[in-house]
């Protein structure tokens, strides 16, 4: 059984963009285009279909308890993934560019959302245990433990629909 222990953070937009420009100068291939969708369930389980480049994936996740949940991910033919995204998944689909950054002793995944969620930038880090120490990069603003930042929630309530006074604007302080 796979286990995912993950913490999620909002990104300081301008500091991130500056850091990204530095990274792209040294490694222009760090970003990958993702398209993903979710098959509806009513028991708290998440069923996700995803394409990353020319590969498809099916992922099933349990409810999150603390920062931890069970996770099972399987590669599937990209054509199958695309067909399931189109025919089985809730809309709008999640579109994003994911940047994988090694910082300190951890790997950060920074998602720069497109489409209905454009303007939202979230960073995630997977841990070995819930109490693991995290060296926070300068471009991180604050941790978000709110379900509305989950990709599966952004399908139902996209960032573009958040009320203006509710919409998160990262600071660079």
- Annotated active-site positions, please? 38
Residues 81, 48: Cα–Cα separation, whole Å: 10
111: nearest Cα among 38, 36, 166: 36
- Helix (H/G/I), strand (E/B), else coil: 163: coil
Residues 124, 16: Cα–Cα separation, whole Å: 14
- For residue 123, what is the enclosing H or E element? strand 121-126
Burial class of residue 144 (count of CB atoms within 10 Å of its CB; 0-12, 13-18, 19+): middle
Residue 92, preceding peptide bond in cis (omega within 30° of 0): yes
- Helix (H/G/I), strand (E/B), else coil: 11: strand
In sequence order, what are the beta bridge partners of 25?
A: none
């Amino acid at each position: 059984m796979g286990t995912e222990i993950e913490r999620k953070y909002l990104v300081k937009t301008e500091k991130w963009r500056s850091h990204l420009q530095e990274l792209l100068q040294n490694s222009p291939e760090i970003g990958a285009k993702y398209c993903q969708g979710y098959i509806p369930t009513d028991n708290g389980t998440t069923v996700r279909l995803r394409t990353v480049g020319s590969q498809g994936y099916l992922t099933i996740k349990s409810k999150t308890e603390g920062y931890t949940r069970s996770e099972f991910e399987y590669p599937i033919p990209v054509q199958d993934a695309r067909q399931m995204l189109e025919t089985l998944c809730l809309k709008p689909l999640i579109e994003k560019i994911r940047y994988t950054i090694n910082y300190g002793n951890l790997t950060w995944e920074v998602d720069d959302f497109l489409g209905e969620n454009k303007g939202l930038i979230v960073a995630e880090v997977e841990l070995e245990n819930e109490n693991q120490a995290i060296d926070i990069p300068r471009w991180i603003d604050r941790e978000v433990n709110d379900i509305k930042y989950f990709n599966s929630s952004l399908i139902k309530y996209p960032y573009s629909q958040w009320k203006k006074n509710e919409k998160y604007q990262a600071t660079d302080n």
